[in-house]
């Protein structure tokens, strides 16, 4: 099931994304997932990486989406940032 959400990069740029995997524990606790990286996002990530000096410096982002009736707003850390479908893990959930 593909879910549409909003991704905010560390640099402040916001993008509408397709979330392809959502990992939920105990019916509503968000743990992580994966999303599709478009050419536009990839281009901005490359620019941000160049400016920051490394891809590790831009791994933290924010994601917002609705899944099975629950609204999520979370800070995430993205692994394999250069892949087409990088995985993310939750580092902080904000109240909605």
* pLDDT 10s digits, 67-79: 888 889 999 999 8
Q: Which helix (H) or strand (E) holds 22?
A: strand 14-25
Express as a percent the part of the chain with pLDDT over 70: 98
Residue 10's pLDDT is what? Answer: 93
Domains of the chain: 3-93 (2.40.10)
Fill in the DSSP letter of residue 55.
Answer: G
Q: Is the model's pLDDT at 96 over the cut of 60?
A: no
pLDDT at 88 exceeding the cut of 70: yes
The pLDDT of residue 67: 85
With beta carbons less than 8 A apart as the criterion, state whether 25 and 8 touch. Answer: no
């Amino acid at each position: 099931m593909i879910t549409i959400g909003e991704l905010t990069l560390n640099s402040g740029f916001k993008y509408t994304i397709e979330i392809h995997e959502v990992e939920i524990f105990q019916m509503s606790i968000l743990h992580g997932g994966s999303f599709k990286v478009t050419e536009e996002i990839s281009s901005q990530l490359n620019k941000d990486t160049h400016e920051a000096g490394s891809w590790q410096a831009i791994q933290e982002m924010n994601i917002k989406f609705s899944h099975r009736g629950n609204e999520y707003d979370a800070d995430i850390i993205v692994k394999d940032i250069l892949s087409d479908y990088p995985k993310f893990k939750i580092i902080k959930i904000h109240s909605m």
